[in-house]
Amino acid sequence: MNETSRSMPAKSIIELNRDTKEVSKVRDGVDTAVPRGIIAGESGENTILLQRTLRSGQSFYYDGNVVVLGDVNPGAEIKATGSIIVMGVLRGMVHAGIGNNESATVAAFKLQPIQLRIAGHITRAPEGENFDSERPEIARVKNGVVTIETLHIGGF
């Protein structure tokens, strides 16, 4: 079994082309500086995995990336300095890239947020419509504007 298959989902979806040596180093050794359940990623960034659905009124903030194995219901919010990935239906509010990190992205199996924020950009669905998604999508800042594209699993 090669090292890359043990890296956490966030890495394999968004940054496959990147060098994963950092990740395997942490897993092989015992890094007491990194708390249990958190895997250090590239450039010292942490990623946390939430294996549950977030319900209305629940707010989650993390300094790093966030991966949710579940839904984010309307009325729930996730805020992160890094990227946010929802392996489920994203219907709530997300704010990725807090701290002016415009390279942060938001991805979901179904991207239908009430509001989507990346760094200083705030977006919502066009007037009168809702985000309507049939396939996984990813939102990122391109040329100063938040754009949403189909997410192709397995690379950029």
| Choice from 25, 31, 56, 135 touching other proteins (CB under 8 A) | 56
Report, in Å, the least distance between residue 54 CB and other proteins.
8
Burial class, 82, CB count within 10 angstroms (exposed 0-12 / middle 13-18 / buried 19+): buried
Size, binding site for other proteins by CB under 8 A: 11
Given the complex with other proteins, which of 72 and 84 has the nearer CB atom?
72
**Cβ neighbours of residue 24 under 8 Å, at least 6 residues apart?**
3, 4, 6, 7
Rounded to 5 degrees, what are φ and ψ at 27? -70, -35
- Rounded CA gap, 20 and 27, in Å? 11
Which of 110, 107, 112 has the alpha carbon at shortest distance from 93? 112
Given the complex with other proteins, which of 79 and 140 has the nearer CB atom?
79
- Rounded CA gap, 73 and 83, in Å? 18
- Site residues for other proteins, 69-98, by CB under 8 A, read 71, 73-75, 89, 91
Judged by CB under 8 A, does residue 16 bind other proteins? no
Report, in Å, the least distance between residue 60 CB and other proteins.
12
| Choice from 4, 22, 24, 55 touching other proteins (CB under 8 A) | 55
Judged by CB under 8 A, does residue 110 bind other proteins? no
- Rounded CA gap, 104 and 84, in Å? 8
Judged by CB under 8 A, does residue 45 bind other proteins? no
Judged by CB under 8 A, does residue 57 bind other proteins? yes
Judged by CB under 8 A, does residue 124 bind other proteins? no
The b/e string for 119-132 (b: 16+ C-beta within 10 A; e otherwise) is bebebeeeeeeebe
Name the residues that contact other proteins, by CB under 8 A.
Answer: 53, 55-58, 71, 73-75, 89, 91
